[in-house]
Amino acid sequence: MKKIIAMLGAVFILNFCFAQEMEGEDETLNLDTPESVDQIVDLEADENKENGVDQSLQRNFNIQMASQNWNLDPHTAAYSSEAQILDSLYEGLFSYHPKTLDPVPAIAKSFKISRDKKRWTFTIREDAKFSNGEAINAFTVRNCWIELLKNQGAPYASLLDCIKNAEDFRNGKCSESDVGISARDDKTLVVSLRTPTAHLSKILCHHAFSVCRTAGGEEAFSGAFKIKERTEASLVLEKNPEYWDEKNVHLPQITISSSSDISENAWIFNTGRTDWVSGMVDTAKLINKNAVRISAIFGTEYLFFSCKNRPWNNAEFRNALLSAVPWSALRKQSLVQATTLIYPLAGYPAVEGLTDTSPEDALEMMKDARKALGYTENEKISITFGVSMTSERQQKQAELLKEAWEPLGVELKIQTTPEDRYIDSIPGWNADLFTYSWIGDFADPLAFLELFRGNSTLNQTKWNSEKFNKLLEEASNTTDNMEHYKLLSQAEQLLLDEGVILPVSHSISLHAVNLNNVGGWFVNALDIHPFKYLYIKEDKTESVPNVI
């Protein structure tokens, strides 16, 4: 699901042997699975049968993450590391299958869809409770979603615009009673859609749509774990005894520590003081190379134009700059180079990416753009690139573009902000160009294209195209998967042709976790690893000696 990747200024140190492993992988991600939600097999039950979870081995489980000031409000959190934690603290109508990422019924015991595909009726589990023992019912879910739609700081709220009148309610054009979310009784939630939305169950796996308490009072959690203790550098979670599926949660406690020192994190893993390092680790210093998990995921790093300032709200000016971009140099340090926004998917039509560099064409295009908007040929035009002050990668990107665009009479200026929560500062930052990393929140190209829909709460670019918006709506309406992909590929092509983004690389996940010791952890396309399924296994392999 997910999320914005935290930009913490550190670059993964990858050994050449691991890079070679990546080159041998398939060129496309297959995010489609043949099973329906009703056919999903309970994975933990399978693990119990195959491996046998030894309860005597279960203990505090240690996780090392990058340093970050975690926002644990499910309505407003946006970083991928936060999503990983929130997935364990809160649960919605559906949750992620840890291996296939299929939606698994969670607080919704079952559901049915009307013949016209525009009404979903959910049955809420009778044993669903918050960690304080308070019952969760259909009214709880409705109220939580209404509060989400009210929250102007909720980045994912527009993903519910498929619900009747949800978008109008977000924008103050109708009352909450008009929104197509109603509780028929304690156990029955009815959702009326504006258009058929086949991927609704995938959307509802996201932490933003989980069930949380919106009124004051003690903190309570709907997920498999609850917060026991929190400090500036660590978070201790303990098993939630009120959780409806408590019997299938094996870890009694999880301690999450934060550190962006990749050498220190490798040493902590080598000495057995952590079970899992997420992201920030020097693989060259790891003793057990078999514990390294590197994979391509459904994510992309790209630069984007903020289309609120003249002349960068004009496609001709943007495309003139793109023609001068030295793409090979810009993507040189990328392990998986990106020429398009969306990672190539099985069955998704090919999109023509951005690859050509032509300074001569760029000069002619800039001349025509200046003439059309009333700029003189010699007039200096400035563009401001907002970067993190400690990100060497972003600084190098800025210098590269500055040199490429100077012959066009464009002066690139750099503005910096403190590294912590760079993404959060973008909405109020009056710069023209930013860098972004995004992991899809559900297994569909819409998870990326929603970022550019005109009225989306995720739209940081301020770009708004009626043609693009219409293609997304038509794609959501169809029940034909091939037609769905075809319409979305047309929308992506339009986005690229309008010069809104500069694709740089497709995301790579990096973890250190010994799967001889840890069960319930799987590599997957969204890099989501629900804590609910984790357990300690008896390691029958020879131990790796600790070297300090």
Contact 7/507 with Cβ under 8 angstroms?
no
Instruction: For residue 8, tell me if it sits in a domain.
Output: no
Return the pLDDT at 29. 52
Q: What is the pTM of this model?
A: 0.83
* Chunked mean pLDDT (size 10), the chain, 548 residues: 38 38 44 38 41 87 90 90 93 94 94 96 97 96 97 93 96 96 97 92 95 79 96 94 96 95 96 94 95 92 94 97 97 92 90 96 97 93 90 91 97 85 83 93 90 93 96 90 95 98 94 96 91 88 50
Strand 518-519 to strand 535-536: parallel, antiparallel, or no bridges (unpaired)?
Answer: antiparallel
What is the three-class DSSP state of 448? Answer: helix
Length reported for the chain: 548
Instruction: For residue 398, tell me if it sits in a domain.
Output: yes
Q: How many domains does the chain have?
A: 1
Whole-Å CA distances, 449 to 28, 295, 468, 545: 18, 23, 9, 48
Instruction: For residue 140, tell me if it sits in a domain.
Output: no
Orientation angle between helical segments 315-324 and 359-373, nearest 10 degrees: 160
Task: Give the tokens for residue 110.
Answer: 């079952």
Instruction: For residue 482, tell me if it sits in a domain.
Output: yes
Q: What CATH number has the domain bearing residue 411?
A: 3.10.105.10
Cα within 13 Å of Cα(364), Cβ side = 3
Orientation angle between helical segments 466-477 and 481-497, nearest 10 degrees: 170
Orientation angle between helical segments 392-405 and 315-324, nearest 10 degrees: 100
Instruction: For residue 50, tell me if it sits in a domain.
Output: no
Domain, as residue range, for 417: 298-507
Residue 50 to residue 544: CA distance in whole angstroms: 25
What sign for the dihedral angle of Cα 164, 170, 441, 533?
Answer: negative
What sign for the dihedral angle of Cα 279, 506, 461, 470?
Answer: negative
Instruction: For residue 528, tell me if it sits in a domain.
Output: no
Angle at 74 between CA 70 and CA 75, to 5 degrees: 115
Instruction: For residue 458, tell me if it sits in a domain.
Output: yes
Instruction: For residue 353, tell me if it sits in a domain.
Output: yes
